[in-house]
Structure 1
């Protein structure tokens, strides 16, 4: 399934070489490759078993034509057939169990993972927290996870409300986010690209609109991106954007959202410090443009019914100003 059909995000997908599909059979990460091999092995074994059973059934039916019950019944033959079937079943089950065991070990999280990212599921968006060593190293994003190519990334998965499930099929397996505990998932991308993920556990009205993008970049590109994200928001130079900042800080928006470098330190909603640099808005629902920002701010319940963002009363001029300000936060 494509993320979008046109616009900036479609261009980004084309440049990255990623189709945006969500298929475990199109793996580009170490854990996903292990899982794909296991799936292929299980399907192959089960397919061969099914063909053999059908062949034996057809042979038995053909041999039984025109023969009496006494001629067909042979206790020793039946016993040998049952023993052979049980033996083959035991071998197949054991082989699949061993394969599953080693696959599980292969996708485990190594202790010295290159980096750790905390992902917290919300209704219905993903809070992404980076915490590295050094002053001012911590920062937050929403609905996008940037990772360096070729490095193991340890995801600490948490939930703020109900059970969610994090799944990026092309990079890793599926892992639940359970309130009150942290689960761990290994994420690794072997080549640059934009990989789409989804909440895979029904979590409420907008479960189907809770997507996540994993953006895998060359290590140097990732470091540049992370350095930019650590910076506070710049003071707008555009008069309209500057007026939009004043509107944002003067309205209830600042009570729910953080924009580092301003007096807005709310923790209820996503960190908006660099919202203009994100590819999508509302957890993959729409492209991040001035128009979509304005639509979301004006009436979030129409765009994504049931979300926790209230409608803030704004005049038409204020809406233009604040959407210009949001678009410029890059």
Structure 2
């Protein structure tokens, strides 16, 4: 299984998520208080006993005590509490709607059934743009603009510890931003039911010191290195025959546009949208049993001979 971290929900790791965490705990406290009060009142009502009525008084209404109308007071307090919670929620959402400064980095994320295409935008120099999949790297302490799109159905982009949920709607571009206060690996997930593979549509955000991030980005901009061994060359031939119609490997003849870019596949932590650890055996298992691992995915299960499997595995391991 994947080595991805748990989708931890109890502590924020960036300024785009910290206010909403505070809001969430405040709402949990308010709801808990209301539940406790109602439970106490209900228990008191169940335990309370009226004095027995004298003969002939069964149909008489009890006298008006003339006391406080607790129903009106309770309704008023509830209304004020809910209105206060609404105002607090609106103020909090407004506070995280935009980053505190203009983000120097823009990432375009497109949701597919069921994986994520990640395009790093460089408006000043388009030649520096590059594409990866299912793994987002960001520099620590830097706000990042995330442009969100969908290629098929409605998805939702959500990294609980870094940013809130945002819908990805076909034909529409939505904006989100995130920032990590410290290095780490943060799990994200599609939070909108989008089909049978919805639960297997995760990704990772890897926050790195700026120097490490720049080194990673420079490596990602490069094309695949030429293969050096006969077995890897045979594997590249198998890839071109069986996989290149859907996948791209920059620097080669593989230019498929329907599936994840695999130019630097072997450098990623996970595969299959963060479902499996990225090992040679898991890569082959995914190729040969895709429909068992992720039913109804567009990736078909591909039968390989033992020699073709070994050669293909050798080639994929070169995609660093």
Is TM > 0.5 for Structure 1 vs Structure 2?
A: yes
Show CA shifts across 1:165-189 (max 9, x none): 1222121111221111112222111
Higher-Rg member (1/2): 2
Q: 1:301: Cα distance to partner?
A: 2.0
Instruction: Work out whether residues 148 and 168 of structure 2, in 8 Å CA contact, stay in contact via their aligned partners in 1.
Output: yes
Instruction: Work out whether residues 145 and 178 of structure 2, in 8 Å CA contact, stay in contact via their aligned partners in 1.
Output: yes
Alpha-carbon spacing, 1:46–1:234, altered in 2? closer, same or farther (3 Å):
same
Query: Comparing 214-223 with 106-115, which one deviates more in the overlay?
Result: 106-115
**Mapping of residues 75-224 of structure 1, within 5 Å:** 76-79=66-69, 81-110=70-99, 112-132=102-122, 133-134=124-125, 136-224=127-215
- 3-state SS in 1 of match to 2:51: coil
In the aligned structure 1, how far is the partner of 2:276 from the partner of 2:39? 50
- 3-state SS in 2 of match to 1:150: coil
Q: Segments of 4+ in structure 1 off by > 4 A?
A: 53-65, 67-73
In the aligned structure 1, how far is the partner of 2:128 from the partner of 2:208? 19
Q: 1:49: Cα distance to partner?
A: 3.3
**Mapping of residues 16-31 of structure 1, within 5 Å:** 20-31=5-16
Q: 1:158: Cα distance to partner?
A: 0.9
In the aligned structure 1, how far is the partner of 2:269 from the partner of 2:290? 18
Instruction: Work out whether residues 225 and 318 of structure 2, in 8 Å CA contact, stay in contact via their aligned partners in 1.
Output: no
The residue that corresponds to 2:287 in the other structure is 297
In the aligned structure 1, how far is the partner of 2:295 from the partner of 2:312? 22
Work out whether 1:49 is the aligned partner of 2:39.
no
In the aligned structure 2, how far is the partner of 1:102 from the partner of 1:200? 24
Q: 1:290: Cα distance to partner?
A: 1.0
Instruction: Work out whether residues 16 and 163 of structure 2, in 8 Å CA contact, stay in contact via their aligned partners in 1.
Output: yes
Query: Comparing 121-130 with 167-176, which one deviates more in the overlay?
Result: 167-176
Q: Which runs of 5+ in 2 are unaligned?
A: none
How many equivalent pairs are there? 313
Alpha-carbon spacing, 1:312–1:51, altered in 2? closer, same or farther (3 Å):
closer
